[in-house]
Chain A
Amino acid sequence: MSMTATAGRAHADPHHIGVVIEHPGPASKRIVTAYGFWVFLLSDIVMFSCFFAAYAVLSGQTAGGPKGSEIFEQGNVAIETVCLLLSSFTCGMASIAADVRNRFWFYLGMAATCVLGLIFLAIEFREFADLVARGYGPSRSAFLTAFFSLVGCHGLHVSAGVLWLLTMMAQVFAKGFRADVLRRMICFALFWHALDIIWVGVFSVVYLLGSGV
């Protein structure tokens, strides 16, 4: 059932405005599930905003350690960004394939998304490991604390997303494009795209602004 409104009876209009919108009743499962997941994503974005705020407060507190411009490598970040943006595209392709019940394109789209996500994670992991090896771990300064937490929190989300993605593929393999599987696919796609949006924030606030300082 969609949210279409229908004109109703006159006594539903106590102020005689002339326009009466009658609520049509409970929404369908598909709408309810996606809507609930949207609300979850909003809460997740609130959580990220706390880490962004912490980064903004602490980014100048280097405690004699390195500044952002001394440790950020623009080349790597560019590759990471390209991977993630491309993965959003392939995830969209997988969603369309799921909608038209095409298994081949669904698997292909999801596999490509997975590979791109893993490349992203590998680059991020190498960046972190390299920093720690140079003695610039998160306990070096408050700036590095905030940097590792914000970027790492996004990385953890991507890791969870990859786990979900693989589970999703296994589920389509075992159960086919059942209604509940398709609803989960909508949620997964929303999650993956939201991580992209957050990455745009991380990219701008951390890497772009940080390189200038």
Chain B
Amino acid sequence: MLGKLDWSAIPLDQPIPLVAGAVVLVAILGVLIWVVAKGHLPYLWHEWITSVDHKRIGVMYILLASVMLLRGGSDAIMMRIQQAVAYQSQGYLPPEHYNQIFSAHGTIMIFFVAMPFVIGLMNLVVPLQLGVRDVAFPTLNSVGFWLTATGALLVNLSLVIGEFARTGWLAFPPLSELSYSPGVGVDYYAWSLQISGVGTLVAGINLVTTVLKLRTKGMNYLRMPMFCWTTLASNLLIVAAFPILTATLAMLLLDRYLGFHFFTNEAGGNVMMFMNLIWAWGHPEVYILVLPAFGIFSEVVSTFSGKALFGYRSMVLATMAICVISFMVWLHHFFTMGAGPDVNAIFGIASMIIAIPTGVKIYNWLFTMYGGRIRFATPMLWSVGFMVTFIIGGLTGVLLAVPPADFMLHNSMFLVAHFHNVIIGGVLFGAFAGFEYWFPKAFGFRLDERWGKAAFWFTFLGFFITFVPLYIAGMLGMTRRMQHYDVAAWRPWMIVAAFGMVVLTIGVICQIVQLVVSIRNREALRDRTGDPWDGRSLEWATSSPPPVFNFAFNPDVRGEDAYWDMKVRARQQSLEHDVPEYRDIEMPRNSPTGFVCAFFATVMGFALIWHIWWMVILGGLGAFATFVVFAWRDHDEYVIPAEDVARIDRVNIEERRSLVSMAGAI
């Protein structure tokens, strides 16, 4: 009846996951009770859960990423403590638990923190920057978000029902095959990634189509803000790379469920095929994450230097070059696995070549700052901090791209330090910069600068205190994923790294305090004009938060830095008082399709993990029925009358006029 599921799946003998699970459960129940008791449920349902507004969906993506960042961060703290104490002893985490923690940490941080964070920012900002009213497929956008949330839910479910994978974040066979991992851990891993992978693919298709087909009048390709270009590149990579992940995990699942022989040791299966396939997705994935971050830094550096981006066209070229070359370097993840010197040399050189367009970008940001009137607001601090940190991470990457050096450093703590250096220093700093930069746009008030700066400095210093010791430990020969060790020389570095983790945690706490303080002082921090940073692109041309239709009129773009031009022209022409003729606007209706579909996906995923076949069929039928019901509806749009559009738009125009005339007076 319930497949493999019985009471032994609840880890009653392991206090840590059980207590953690209970705390999370109490927190969720508390929030739910508060929401229902306060009568917020209808609001949440109509305005958020069923919303197909790209801004709302973007915010929900970022919320999901932030919550999961706390989960993945807890895993990191547990690992650092374990390695600090487990010298010539077992520490406090038994091996099978420790292995689950590092697997969950990697999986969560990449798939459920970094991915939703950047996809959320792209969703929130790109349609605004392109000057349009929505993404190409609003309802599918909602489906994509909820499927990502389903994956996150399944991963967290493994905390209290069953177990998570002990195989590392990429589940290499033959360890991940049924003979060596007979439990449900790998199945939790694979099904949650399959489901959230569909969500990511949907988001990728949606954003590619949005950038290529939905741009306002005059928004030629070479007038798009840099963030739109990096979004395009990143989502092209999603469309080209995520199907590889889907296929690879499908093969692994066929091996596990139906006794196929893709990656087994028996009957001619080929383990190296898994390595090639997974990294053919895995390396582009790195650029899927970091390219949007590059776009954010481009926007931030240009805005806070008060200058147009230096070398815009070279930046576009560098972005697209990275997009292409990222598919030609995957083999550097397994130089040591015997491809031979010729193949290794080619991939080593390709890996070094990809550093060139990245270097071009760094110089472009530096030259944008050169001679600019720089304001060191929090987003700018994250950007400058990124440049320093990322260069170090990039250099150690070039070092690892040299095959002979890689033979020494492969699978060591040096490698761990390297990829944290680029992912934290690149992606996470970028996500935080974007969060601080676009928060006023999403919510209509700024974040507190003092706590923001404190958060930056603690995170920045904490990062180096944590990861420089890991570089050194790697040089001293420490391999990754060690549950305990007996080498005295590594111990001090592990203790320093644990101290660094404390500093990093203070940084995270500062960020939470910043959010609380800012919400409480929101009236004082209110952004009335919609342009709090003296911005240059079109998202600042509408109010904060923008009306549901974004723009009363599709803006007419005449060059790069569209909104900057508008402001300059408005000052020169001393504010013409032409009264525009407002028209009715059609917007897509909200739809519960995404939420209902994700509900059935959760049922189906859970049933597949535990081999509850009747429930699988039920979930599948439910998902199909949901789509048919959606396809059957007769009214998919509603009309916002011209008077409403006019009323909303005039308020914003008045605020803006006063700003421009004030600037003129100065």
B665 within 8 A of partner (CB):
no
B277 within 8 A of partner (CB):
yes
Which chain B residues in 204-256 approach chain A with CB under 8 Å? 204-206, 208-209, 212-221, 239-244, 246-248, 251, 254
- Cβ of A115 within 8 Å of any chain B Cβ, yes or no, is no
Name the contact of A26 in the complex, choosing from B216, B220, B243 (C-beta under 8 A).
B216
Name the B residues within 8 Å of A171 (CB-CB).
631-632
User: Residues of B contacting A39 with CB < 8 Å?
Assistant: 205, 208-209, 239
Which range holds the interface residue count of chain A?
35 or more
Q: For residue A39, give the distance in angstroms from its CB to the closest CB of chain B.
A: 5
| Pairs of residues from A and B, 10 with the lowest C-beta to C-beta distance, nearest first | A61-B268, A142-B268, A50-B247, A47-B243, A139-B259, A36-B209, A25-B217, A46-B243, A63-B267, A145-B260
Tell me if A's interface is mostly helix, strand, loop or mixed: helix
Instruction: List A contacts of B499 (CB < 8 A).
Output: none
Taking a contact as CB atoms under 8 Å apart, the answer to whether A22 and B220 are in contact is yes
Besides A54-B277, A171-B631, 8 other A-B contacts (C-beta < 8 A): A11-B559, A23-B218, A35-B212, A43-B240, A47-B243, A138-B258, A138-B261, A146-B262
Q: A66 at interface (Cβ–Cβ under 8 A)?
A: no
Bound: A40/B631 CA distance, A: 19
Q: How many Å from the CB of B118 to the closest CB on chain A?
A: 19
* Chain A CB within 8 A of B22 CB: no
Rounded to whole angstroms, the CA-CA distance of A163 and B132 in the bound complex is: 35
Q: Are B213 and A47 in contact (CB under 8 A)?
A: no
**Residue A72, interface by CB 8 Å:** no
Name the CB-closest residue of A to B565. Answer: A11
Distance in angstroms between the alpha carbons of A146 and B267 in the assembled complex:
12
Please tell me which one of the listed residues A22, A50, A62, A174 contacts residue B243 in the complex, with CB atoms under 8 A apart.
Answer: A50
Is the CB–CB distance between A27 and B213 below 8 Å? Answer: yes
CA–CA, A77 and B219, complex, Å: 51
| Pairwise interchain contact A24-B217, C-beta atoms closer than 8 A | yes
Residues of chain B contacted by A63 (CB below 8 angstroms): 261, 266-268
Task: Please state if A36 and B243 are interface contacts (CB–CB under 8 Å).
Answer: no
Q: Which residue of A lies closest to B241 (CB)?
A: A46
CB distance A26 to B215 under 8 Å?
yes
CA distance in complex: A180, B261 (Å) = 44
Contact present for A142 and B270 (CB under 8 Å): yes
Q: Is the CB of B218 within 8 A of A32?
A: no
Given A25-B216, A138-B258, residue A36 in contact with residue B137 (CB < 8 A): yes
Residues of B contacting A193 in the complex (Cβ-Cβ under 8 angstroms): none
Give B314 Cβ to nearest chain A Cβ, in Å: 14
Is B239 within 8 A of A167, CB to CB? no
Interface positions, chain B 592-626, Cβ under 8 Å from A, are 624
Does B666 belong to the interface (CB within 8 Å)? no
CB distance from A22 to the nearest CB of B (A): 6
Neighbouring B residues of A135 by C-beta, 8 Å: none
A32 touches B217 (CB 8 A): no
Name the contact of A43 in the complex, choosing from B137, B239, B558, B624 (C-beta under 8 A).
B239
- Complex CA distance for A170 and B215, rounded to whole angstroms: 35
Q: Is B658 positioned at the interface, with any CB of A under 8 Å from its CB?
A: no
Min distance, Cβ A30 to any Cβ of chain B, angstroms:
11
Contact B267 A61 (CB under 8 A): yes
Across-interface contacts of A35 in B (CB, < 8 A): 209, 212-213
Q: Given A26-B214, A43-B239, A50–B277 Cβ distance below 8 Å?
A: yes
State in angstroms the CA–CA spacing of A141 and B266 once bound together. Answer: 8
Cβ distance A132 to chain B, nearest Cβ, rounded Å: 11
Tell me, yes or no, whether A207 is within 8 Å of chain B by CB.
Answer: no
Give every chain A residue within 8 A of B241 (Cβ-Cβ): 46
Q: Which residue of A lies closest to B137 (CB)?
A: A36
- Cross-chain contact of A167 among B213, B259, B261, B631 (Cβ < 8 A): B631
The reply to whether B267 and A142 form a contact with Cβ atoms under 8 Å apart is yes
CB distance from A20 to the nearest CB of B (A): 9
User: In the bound complex, how far is the Cα of B268 from the Cα of A43, in angstroms?
Assistant: 29
| 1/0 contact string of B258-282 vs chain A (CB within 8 Å) | 1111101011111001000100000
Once A8-B218, A39-B209, A61-B270 are accepted as A-B contacts, the answer to whether A46 and B136 lie under 8 Å apart by CB is: no
Q: Which of B214, B217, B243 contacts A44 (CB 8 A)?
A: B243
Q: Smallest CB–CB gap between A49 and chain B, Å?
A: 8
Instruction: Return the contact of B268 from the options A32, A143, A184 (Cβ within 8 A).
Output: A143
B217/A141 in contact, CB under 8 A: no
- Contacts A26-B215, A32-B214, A149-B260; A141 near B240 (Cβ below 8 A): no
Question: Closest Cβ of chain A: how far from B258's Cβ, in Å?
Answer: 7
For this complex, 23 residue pairs linking A to B, each with C-beta atoms less than 8 Å apart, are A8-B218, A23-B218, A26-B132, A26-B215, A26-B216, A33-B137, A35-B209, A35-B213, A36-B136, A36-B205, A39-B208, A40-B201, A40-B205, A51-B247, A54-B251, A58-B262, A63-B267, A138-B261, A139-B258, A142-B261, A149-B262, A174-B632, A175-B634
Chain B, residue nearest A62 (CB): B268
Return the CB mask of A1-15 against B: 1 if under 8 Å, else 0.
000000011011010
A209 within 8 A of B: no
Could you tell me the distance in whole angstroms from the C-beta of A186 to the nearest C-beta in chain B? Answer: 14
- What B residues does A22 contact at CB under 8 A? 217-218, 220
Answer yes or no: B655 CB below 8 A from chain A CBs: no
A82 interface hit (Cβ, 8 Å): no
Report chain B residues within 8 Å CB of A142. 261-262, 264, 267-270
> What is the CB-to-nearest-CB distance from B531 to chain A, in angstroms, rounded to a whole number?
23
Let me know if B554 is at the binding interface, CB within 8 A: yes
Looking at the assembled complex, report how far the CB atom of B231 sits from the nearest CB atom of chain A, in whole angstroms: 14
**Pairwise interchain contact A26-B554, C-beta atoms closer than 8 A:** yes
B-chain residues with CB within 8 Å of residue A148 when the two chains form the complex: 260
Known contacts A35-B212, A36-B136, A145-B260: does B220 contact A140 (CB below 8 Å)?
Answer: no
- Chain A, residues 132-169, CB within 8 Å of chain B (1/0): the string is 00000011111101101100000000000001000100
Q: How far is the CA of A175 from the CA of B628 in the complex (A)?
A: 13
Chain B residue at minimum C-beta to C-beta distance from A5: B220
Chain A nearest CB, measured from B560 CB (Å): 9
Taking the complex as formed, is A78 at the interface, i.e. its CB lies under 8 A from any CB of chain B?
no
CA of A50 to CA of B217, assembled, Å: 40
Which residues of the other chain, B, contact A138 by a CB distance below 8 angstroms? 254, 258-261
A140 to chain B, nearest CB (A): 7
A57: chain B residues at CB < 8 Å are: 270, 273
A42 at the interface (CB under 8 A from B): yes
Q: Which residues of B contact A27 (CB under 8 A)?
A: 213-214
Give A39 to B235 CA distance when docked, in angstroms. 11
Q: Which residues of A contact B215 (CB under 8 A)?
A: 23, 25-26
A21 near B: Cβ within 8 Å? yes
Complex Cα–Cα for A153 and B241 (A): 18
Residues of B within 8 Å of A47, CB to CB, are 243-244, 246-247
Interface flag for A100 (CB, 8 Å): no
Contact present for A46 and B632 (CB under 8 Å): no
Q: Among A9, A42, A44, A145, which residue has its beta carbon within 8 angstroms of that of B254?
A: A145
- Contact partners of B209 in chain A: CB under 8 A: 32, 35-36, 39
Residues of A within 8 A of B242 (CB): 43
